[in-house]
Amino acid sequence: MTTAKSAPSMSVRLPNDLKEWIAAEAGRNYRSLNAEIVVRLKQCMDAEKRKAPSVATT
């Protein structure tokens, strides 16, 4: 499991409207801004994996 101290960090530039929206969503969900972004990205990643066709191995 990756902890906050061992997770790599990165800087992202967001348009003001997107930053305000994600910050409001984080507050509504009682999460930090970082936690909200991680949750949303993970949801997108999981949805993409479900959409991808299964690859059979032979």
Q: Give pLDDT tens digits for 4-48.
A: 678 899 999 999 999 999 999 999 999 999 999 999 999 999 999
Residue 2: which pLDDT band, with cuts at 50, 70 and 90?
A: low
Q: How confident is the model at residue 1 (pLDDT cuts 50, 70, 90)?
A: low
What is the pLDDT at residue 56? 61
> What pTM did the predictor assign?
0.76
* C-alpha–C-alpha distance, residues 12 and 56, integer Å: 37
How would you classify residue 5: left for phi > 0, otherwise alpha for psi between -120 and 50, otherwise beta? Answer: alpha
pLDDT at 23: 97
